[in-house]
């Protein structure tokens, strides 16, 4: 079996110059073999940038487009191909978007391997620790405390036992941050599992530490990305400031970055995104690093049903992988693109025993939003 082609599809819901929120664009990769087996992957990154990294013609020894490196290769040699892509793109890759593109391909290669061996991905990864994974719902907050109170109430009634909100306006204004969190906490009750995500908008350690202290009374489960993950010292100083756990790492790629983050930032929870950090092959190693340091891994995941399926397969095969993020995006790229998207049911997502990612893409949605 050989790789015959790599196809990159960019999708975008808003028009090109309109604002594009989280979940409103996507890049899908299809790795096509000469046997007819096709693997599917995605990266939650900038679609045109990922496309360019895959499709670029080679420039020099360390500036190869990934597709050119893969054609004619055996798709089952996943780690060797990962290393080949990393090495041959290391001038323009190595971190960031270069690894995002490798992540999408790596996920597609695991999808192919699972179909080839007729064995679920979680078995290939080492075995299934659980049949279902508790899911927490993530929503992007509206611009008033009362609107967010209503969203939280609705999600709790839907069966979520854990919620997170962040992005949007959260982090823009300390007074509004406080009021929104106060309203949502009041609505959910004092013991309900609630976490917030600042998407790095508190910017500095000084502001973050002040907010940690002010929000301590709301019994938050975790506070995510208060500042950029590059500020390792800032993270380490925030540790233990409040009762809330410190979480972060969704923007990081490769074991190199996660090793430093775990060692020097010392978060309570680390959050690699399987579609950005390096795919199945790399997130397994990051999980080992986290386990060695006694750090909980809860993957980031807020894109399409492809990311969701990949994350479910990975967590099923993790000894401590008992919590998954479940997007509450209304984007058709989350709700419709994958026709058989893994559903949220009574607080959990079931782990399917099917072969591969088992994704049924809606070709009409692809045609409608393709750019
Ligand atoms: Mg986040």
Count CA within 13 A, CB hemisphere, residue 106: 30
From the list 39, 87, 100, the residue with the least C-alpha distance to 358 is 39
- List all residues 6 or more positions away from 270 whose beta carbon is below 8 Å from its beta carbon: 247, 248, 249, 258, 261, 262, 286, 290, 295, 296, 297, 298
- 148-to-83, 155, 211 alpha-carbon distances in Å: 45, 11, 19
Give me ligand 1 centre to Cα 327, in Å: 11
pLDDT value of residue 62 = 96
- List all residues 6 or more positions away from 35 whose beta carbon is below 8 Å from its beta carbon: 1
Q: Yes or no: say if 79 and 8 are a contact pair by the CB < 8 Å rule.
A: no
- List all residues 6 or more positions away from 228 whose beta carbon is below 8 Å from its beta carbon: 200, 203, 251
Give me ligand 1 centre to Cα 248, in Å: 7
Give me ligand 1 centre to Cα 197, in Å: 5
Q: How far apart are CA 340 and CA 366, in angstroms?
A: 15
Give me ligand 1 centre to Cα 199, in Å: 5
Give me ligand 1 centre to Cα 364, in Å: 30
pLDDT, tens digit, 9 for 90 and up, residues 14-58: 999 999 999 999 999 999 999 999 999 999 999 999 999 999 999
Q: How far apart are CA 112 and CA 93, in angstroms?
A: 24
Q: How far apart are CA 192 and CA 190, in angstroms?
A: 6
Residues composing the chain: 371
Q: How far apart are CA 107 and CA 30, in angstroms?
A: 10
Q: Yes or no: say if 45 and 97 are a contact pair by the CB < 8 Å rule.
A: yes
pLDDT, tens digit, 9 for 90 and up, residues 197-251: 999 999 999 999 999 999 999 999 999 999 999 999 999 999 999 999 999 999 9
DSSP string, 220-250: -SEEE-SS-TT-HHHHHHHTTSSSSEEEE-T
Tokens of 190: 């004092």
First to last CA, the chain: 31
Tokens of 53: 């990294």
Give me ligand 1 centre to Cα 38, in Å: 31
Residues by chain with Cβ below 5 Å of ion ligand 1? 197
Give me ligand 1 centre to Cα 312, in Å: 18
Q: Which residue has the tokens 């979940």?
A: 23
Q: How far apart are CA 10 and CA 20, in angstroms?
A: 14
Give me ligand 1 centre to Cα 3, in Å: 34
Q: Yes or no: say if 324 and 134 are a contact pair by the CB < 8 Å rule.
A: yes
Give me ligand 1 centre to Cα 250, in Å: 6
Stretches in the chain below the pLDDT threshold 50: none
């Amino acid at each position: 079996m050989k790789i015959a082609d790599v196809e990159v599809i960019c999708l975008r819901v808003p028009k090109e110059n309109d604002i594009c929120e989280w979940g409103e664009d996507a890049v899908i990769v299809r790795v096509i073999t000469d046997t007819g087996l096709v693997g599917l992957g995605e990266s939650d990154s900038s679609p045109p940038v990922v496309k360019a990294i895959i499709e670029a013609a080679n420039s020099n020894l360390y500036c190869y487009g990934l597709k050119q490196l893969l054609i004619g290769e055996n798709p089952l040699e996943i780690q060797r191909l990962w290393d080949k892509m990393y090495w041959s793109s290391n001038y323009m890759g190595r971190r960031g978007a270069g690894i995002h593109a490798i992540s999408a391909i790596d996920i597609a290669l695991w999808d192919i391997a699972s179909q080839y061996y007729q064995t679920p991905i979680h078995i290939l990864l080492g075995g299934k620790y659980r049949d279902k994974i508790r899911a927490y719902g993530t929503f992007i907050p509206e611009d008033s405390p009362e609107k967010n109170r209503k969203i939280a109430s609705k999600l709790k009634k839907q069966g979520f036992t854990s919620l997170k909100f962040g992005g949007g306006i959260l982090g823009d204004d300390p007074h509004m941050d406080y009021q929104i969190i106060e309203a949502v906490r009041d609505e959910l009750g004092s013991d309900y599992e609630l976490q917030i995500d600042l998407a790095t908008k508190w910017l500095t350690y000084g502001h973050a530490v002040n907010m940690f202290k002010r929000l301590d009374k709301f019994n938050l489960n975790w506070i995510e990305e208060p500042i950029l993950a590059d500020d390792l010292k800032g993270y380490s100083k925030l540790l233990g400031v409040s009762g809330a756990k410190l979480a972060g790492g969704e923007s990081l790629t490769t074991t190199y970055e996660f090793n430093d983050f775990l060692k020097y930032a010392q978060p309570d929870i680390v959050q690699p995104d399987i579609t950005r950090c390096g795919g199945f092959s790399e997130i397994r190693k990051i999980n080992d690093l986290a386990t060695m340091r006694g750090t909980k891994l809860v993957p980031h995941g807020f894109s399409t049903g492809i990311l969701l399926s990949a994350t479910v397969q990975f967590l099923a095969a993790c000894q401590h992988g008992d919590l998954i993020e479940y997007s509450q995006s209304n984007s058709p790229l989350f709700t419709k693109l994958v026709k058989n998207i893994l559903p949220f049911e009574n607080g959990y997502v079931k782990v399917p025993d099917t072969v591969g990612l088992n994704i049924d893409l809606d070709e009409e949605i692809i045609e409608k939003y393709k750019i």
